[in-house]
Amino acid sequence: MTSLYNRLMDVNSFSFKSFKELSKGLTKKKRMDLLKSFSSDAVHFQLCINERPAIYLRSKPLELLINDLKSKNAELNSLFREIEPSLMSSYLEMMMVKEIEASLSFSKYEDKEDDIFFSLHEKRYSASKEVSSFCLAYSLLKEGVRCPLSSLEDVSNSYMRLFRGLLKEEEEPDGLYFRDSKIKGSDIDDEQGIKYALKETLYFLSSPGLSIYEKCALLSFFTLYSKPFYKGNLSFSSYLSSSLLFNEAGPCSSFIVARSIKEHRRLIDEAYKDSISRSGYSDISIYVYFFLKALGESYSSAIMALRKKRAVDVKEDELGRLLSLASSYSLYGLSIRDLSKMLSLSSRSIIRHLSLYKEKGLLRIVKIQKALYYSLL
């Protein structure tokens, strides 16, 4: 027997409708019937929002969106594997710089793209504490170090990895793992309530019935709702999602989470408010849908960029080919040291060859601090 909820959804099955939208104009009795129907098909959480247990329903539009994300991820990884092997690391570094920049902005830290780049690329470069800490945490992801999420202690340790040395005394957790005092914007007032919310979140992260994208969205929602720390909860939830995606979706996917949230912040904020409003009936499906929709838009942008870069003209000689690819796959280009290592030539030989491109007006040179980076115009 088709439920009332699914009958209403079938009227416009390709458009997402939250319980709040579907219940508009219904009588009180039909609204209650709809709520029962909705609840019977949904995943129920013990955590209550406005005295109602939170519920999540994977409707047909959500299933279509999840399948679309899987397809886009496969294409993104395929395009990534076509990149010149010697430039794969540079491309990932470029994506990571943009991801760190977005994540830093959530915590109101001043960030500069070149500071982030140099902190990742030059071991002796002295960046701000904020940039250095975030760069180290994301670099560990790139090197294969994941954030284990099997216990509350794991959550706390992952947070301290990201914010190591950045917290003022009043910003540090005053409970065993998390904050233990009231904070603006959260209905959870103490560490016990936070533990209750996050334990349930960790349980659902191990559920085989949920896709990795749903897990990231649910993790984001419950982190924002419980606000376990006094500072940086959005930056932290983005970082955890990056860690989850790196393993199951690939490195390219892991470095577009914070960027997708930043680019669609208003939409995601509105979805969050709807999910926790009294008229939303604790339906967090709306947050999951718009979180994934934003992620899908970022996937599309990354795919289009790689398609364009794949069409770059390959030059006849090896140095020209690398410089041409560098203009597409690295943030600033390649240094003489990079080119020397890739081509097994001395720095003097590289400089001599570069001068020929410079004379022809083909060379793009970017100077940051004392370092020079080269690519073709």
Contact by Cβ (8 Å): 236, 229: yes
> Worst-scoring range by mean pLDDT, 130-134, 163-167, 313-317?
313-317
CA 229 to chain CA centroid, Å, is 19
More confident residue, 25 or 218: 218
Q: State the Cα–Cα distance between residues 355 and 332, nearest whole angstrom.
A: 18
Task: For residue 110, give the 3-state DSSP assignment.
Answer: coil
Q: Is the pLDDT of residue 348 over 70?
A: yes
The Cα 73–Cα 83 span in angstroms is: 16
**Least confident piece of the model among 11-25, 215-229, 233-247:** 11-25
Cβ neighbours around 371 below 10 Å, total: 17
Please, which pLDDT band fits residue 128 given cuts at 50, 70 and 90? confident
Condensed to tens digits (0 to 9), the pLDDT of residues 92-105 reads 888 999 999 999 99
State the pLDDT at residue 93.
87
Given CA atoms 136, 373, 352, 323 in this order, what sign does their dihedral have? positive
Compute the average pLDDT of residues 124-129. 70
Give the burial string for 355-364 (b: 16+ CB within 10 Å, else e): eebeeeeebb
Residue 288 Cα distances to 39, 204, 243, 284, angstroms: 17, 14, 18, 7
Alpha-carbon separation of residue 162 from 104, 155, 158 (angstroms)? 10, 11, 7
Please, are residues 148 and 140 in contact by the beta-carbon 8 Å criterion? Answer: no
Superfamily name and number for 60-308? Fido-like domain (1.10.3290.10)
Global confidence as pTM = 0.80
For the segment 146-165, what is each residue's pLDDT rounded down to a tens digit?
888 999 999 999 999 999 88
| Confidence check: pLDDT of 71 > 90 | yes
Which CATH number, 1.10.287.70, 1.50.10.10, 2.130.10.10, 1.10.10.10, labels domain 318-376?
Answer: 1.10.10.10
List CB contacts of 51: < 8 A, sequence separation 6 or more.
none
CB 250 within 8 A of CB 80: yes
User: What pLDDT band is residue 312 in, cutting at 50, 70 and 90?
Assistant: very low
pLDDT mean across residues, the chain: 84
- Type of residue numbered 111: D
Domain ranges of the chain: 4-56, 60-308, 318-376
Q: How many CB atoms lie within 10 A of CB 131?
A: 24
